Amino acid sequence: MNSPQALNDPHPLLTTTHGRQRLLDMALNLTRNTRLAPSAQEQQLLTLFVQGTLTLDQVLEQLPR
């Protein structure tokens, strides 16, 4: 059973630039040439996420609804 602290710990891939880039590359490969591919604005936000400037939650907050 997971401890309460374990539920708050980020996934290891989210803690490094390399890990965040790997996750983004996988997502981009899945959405390439589909309507789900990110727009230029979304791509800029994702770049900031990979660099560690924004968290994933902050990226989601900045997306238009």
> Residues of 6-21 as b/e, b for ≥16 C-beta within 10 angstroms?
eeeeeeeeeeeeeebb
Whole-model pTM: value is: 0.78
Count of structural domains within the chain:
1
Show the domain range for 19. Answer: 4-62
pLDDT value at residue 6: 53
How many whole angstroms separate alpha carbon 37 and alpha carbon 23?
15
Residue 47: pLDDT above 70?
yes
pLDDT in tens, 4-28: 555 566 788 888 999 999 999 999 9
Reduced DSSP (H G I as helix, E B as strand, rest coil) percent helix, strand, coil of the chain, to 5: 65, 0, 35
